[in-house]
């Protein structure tokens, strides 16, 4: 009995040496668990950090540079919800505040009916600003509005502002130009959206409305939001005569003169993230046919909407690339989206996901191609698509996790077996 202590365990005696072994195993198990926690903590932090740097978030690449790369979601998401909303114009002019009233800037100077025109827009619920001089139209003033409306006969007055207006529209704002009443190219339209006025002398009567100028809604117009639910009587009559062949193919022609369908009366197009509307009518309340309130409102409400972001989409699985893809459609775990770019312009070009894990915490270097972490040997911008690691777990990370779990299981098994054997001795 000198080497034994009588221990009660399920009604059986256990040798003291077995109790000592049991205690050693228990201490060893506690040590293993402590080591596991110490190793797993930095591993978890490293994984969280990787999700924040260079990750595909809401279908956009967020850089680890302060403020994000120019033109990324970091600069676009003004309300912090992780999504690029229609009310968030990403531009140097400043984003439109989501939920507020649409602000219409009205350029009208030559007519004594300008106040009536401004009041018409205000009566429809829009916030209005009335400009009477080209000097008032600049980046600072445009920053505060959503849609610029240029009154009839006054587009040429803003000819020197075409670059400023074009840049502002491109960033997600709306431009409406009505009846330029000036033959030749419409001066303020953005590049690629050219329209040429053949004649400012309209068909029919010059003393009042005339059915010869009535506007017919085209097949494209019938399904367009501007023309939704409208009839010919809602639309301003056609005044400036514009051949459909003199309208850029970038436009959708929504209305033509009923008596001569070769004359375009209403056209709409996207430009960057913004929208442009051209019509040959006259919204002034005192004109021959000012159009219905519904027509005016639907035109403004369409122009204010922000076009979806499009760009090149790289597929990290196949190495393929597709142009003109909305950001939300380039959403796969191994897809990478490049705003406003074409596949042929990407340098380096799209390639298969080829990040190589070289460290315990998933540090990646690269052998070739685009989808790699910044490294002296990387090609091009060297931005790592972290989805590579998420989709194909690195051995150094998950191998360590499995090893630690296996050790814990082994310790448990050893402890359990020895404890059970000790009970019977």
200: containing domain: 103-304
- Among the listed ranges 193-207, 231-245, 321-335, 370-384, which one has the minimum average pLDDT value? 370-384
CA angle 381–383–389, rounded 5-degree value: 150
- Buried b / exposed e over 149-182, threshold 16 CB at 10 Å, is bbbbbbbebbeebbebbbbbbbbbbbbbbbbbbb
The angle that helices 16-52 and 395-423 make with each other, rounded to 10 degrees, is: 160
Residue 395: the pLDDT is: 45
| More confident site: 384 or 291 | 291
Q: What is the pLDDT of residues 201-252, one digit of tens each?
A: 999 999 999 999 999 999 999 999 999 999 999 999 999 999 999 999 999 9
pLDDT at 140 over 50: yes
Residue 46: the pLDDT is: 41
| Long-range contacts of residues 134-142, Cβ cutoff 8 Å, at least 24 apart | 134/158, 134/160, 134/161, 137/105, 137/107, 137/161, 137/164, 137/165, 138/164, 139/92, 139/93, 139/164, 139/168, 141/105, 142/93, 142/105, 142/168, 142/173
Both tokens of residue 366? Answer: 């690269």
Q: What is the pLDDT of residues 181-190, one digit of tens each?
A: 999 999 999 9
CA angle 7–8–9, rounded 5-degree value: 110
Both tokens of residue 386? Answer: 């972290």
| More confident site: 352 or 360 | 352
Report yes or no on 150 lying in a domain.
yes
Give the pLDDT band of residue 407 (cuts 50, 70, 90).
confident
Report yes or no on 147 lying in a domain.
yes
Report yes or no on 189 lying in a domain.
yes
Q: What is the pLDDT of residues 46-96, one digit of tens each?
A: 443 333 333 333 332 322 222 222 232 233 333 333 333 333 333 344 444
Looking at the DSSP assignment, which residues form a beta bridge with residue 243? 263
Q: Are 88 and 76 in contact, with CB atoms under 8 Å apart?
A: yes
Domain count, the chain: 1
Share of the chain above pLDDT 70, in %: 60
Closest CA to 369 of 356, 358, 387: 356
pLDDT at 173 over 60: yes
Report CA-CA distances (Å) from 339 to 190, 309, 406: 20, 7, 46
What's the mean pLDDT in 414-418? Answer: 59
Report yes or no on 381 lying in a domain.
no
The domain that contains 153 carries what CATH number?
A: 3.40.50.880
What's the mean pLDDT in 367-389? Answer: 39
Average pLDDT, the chain: 74
Q: What is the pLDDT of residues 285-322, one digit of tens each?
A: 989 999 999 999 999 999 999 887 788 888 876 778 89
pLDDT at 424 over 90: no
Give the pLDDT band of residue 114 (cuts 50, 70, 90).
very high
Report yes or no on 378 lying in a domain.
no
pTM beyond 0.85: no
Report yes or no on 64 lying in a domain.
no
| More confident site: 169 or 349 | 169
């Amino acid at each position: 009995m000198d080497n034994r202590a009588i221990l009660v365990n399920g009604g059986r005696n256990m040798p003291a040496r077995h109790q000592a072994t049991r205690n050693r195993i228990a201490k060893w198990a506690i040590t293993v668990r402590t080591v596991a926690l110490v190793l797993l903590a930095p591993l978890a932090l490293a994984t969280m950090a990787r999700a924040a740097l260079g990750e595909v978030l809401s279908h956009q690449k967020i850089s680890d540079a302060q403020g994000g790369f120019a033109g990324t979601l970091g600069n676009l998401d003004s309300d912090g919800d992780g999504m690029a909303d229609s009310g968030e114009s990403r531009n140097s002019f400043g984003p439109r505040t989501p939920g507020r009233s649409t602000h219409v800037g009205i350029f009208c100077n030559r007519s004594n009916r300008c106040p009536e025109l401004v009041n018409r827009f205000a009566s429809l619920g829009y916030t209005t600003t009335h400009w009477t001089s080209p000097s008032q139209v600049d980046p600072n003033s445009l920053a505060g509005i959503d849609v610029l409306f240029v009154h009839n006969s006054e587009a040429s007055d803003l000819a020197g502002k075409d670059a400023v207006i074009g840049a502002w529209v491109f960033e997600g704002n709306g431009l409406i130009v009505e009846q330029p009443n000036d033959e030749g190219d419409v001066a303020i339209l953005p590049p690629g959206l050219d329209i040429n006025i053949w004649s400012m002398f309209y068909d029919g009567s010059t003393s009042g409305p005339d059915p010869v100028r009535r506007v017919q809604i085209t097949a494209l117009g019938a399904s367009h939001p501007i023309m939704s639910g409208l009839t010919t009587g809602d639309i301003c009559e056609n005044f400036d005569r514009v051949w459909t062949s003199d309208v850029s193919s970038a436009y959708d022609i929504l209305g033509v003169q009923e008596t001569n369908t070769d004359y375009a009366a209403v056209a709409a197009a996207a430009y960057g993230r913004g929208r442009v509307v051209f019509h040959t009518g006259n919204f002034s309340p005192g004109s021959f046919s000012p159009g219905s309130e519904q027509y005016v409102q639907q035109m403004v409400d369409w122009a204010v909407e922000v076009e979806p972001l499009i760009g090149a989409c790289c597929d990290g699985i196949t190495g393929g690339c597709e142009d003109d893809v909305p950001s939300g459609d380039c959403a796969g775990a191994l897809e990478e989206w490049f705003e406003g770019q074409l596949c042929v312009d990407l340098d380096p070009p799209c390639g298969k996901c080829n990040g190589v894990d070289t460290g315990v915490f998933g540090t990646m270097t690269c052998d070739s191609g685009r989808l790699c972490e910044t490294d002296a040997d990387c090609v091009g911008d060297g931005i790592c698509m972290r989805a590579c690691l998420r989709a194909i777990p690195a051995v150094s990370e998950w191998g360590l996790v499995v090893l630690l779990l296996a050790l814990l299981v082994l310790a448990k098994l050893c402890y359990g077996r020895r404890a059970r054997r000790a009970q019977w001795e």
